[in-house]
Amino acid sequence: MTLTLAFDVYGTLVDPMGMSRLLAEDAGDGAEAVAALWREKQLEFSFRKGLMKVYEDFGVCTRQALRYAMAFHKLSLSEERENELMAAYLSLPAFDDSLPTLKSLKGQYPLFAFSNGSYPALEKVLGYNNLLEQFQGLVSVDDVKSFKPDPAVYTFARRATGSWEKPLCLVSSNAWDVIGARAAGLLAVWVKRDPDKVFEDWGIEPSAVINSLSELPSILKNL
């Protein structure tokens, strides 16, 4: 049966830490720390909203996380500057291995982008990096009004990708996403972009571990 691939976007195909360059204007030498906390809180806020059943789209989580990160570091932003940074988030840089890997897989497997982001945001950030045209379609949690790793989101991805009766494999650099997908019965490849990252010991293992997306084509036949 044909394996369908669902690629996480933020942290897997595009780099949220790319915002640190722009944040240097606001945070100086602390830009990387602000960017890292921004990303951490963006995810935390989405998890909490999902559990609380008070869904707001990922852009809202992103803006609220930016405000938190700036306040934590005792920094301030004008409304105009905040809007500039939020707009820049729609043009995050792609990792160097993203486009070549997708091009090599296109035509061999059905490819989907599967994200906590909304459809407009995905279209912009993927389009900015010439990644959008590599996909057969987009799958956003916005249709479910919840966030990964809610099992309902992965169930929806099966239906949205036409993979109800055939295998669906998540490709993600986020260990929590991989664990969520595996718990929901999907295959899942962990892209270990950071060699210092540790996979949580929950007794739920990834289907495969790679260090770069460039390794993906060679391991798929063994899943």
Question: Active-site residues: which are they?
Answer: 8
Tokens of 58: 């990922």
Distance in Å from the first CA to the final CA of the chain: 12
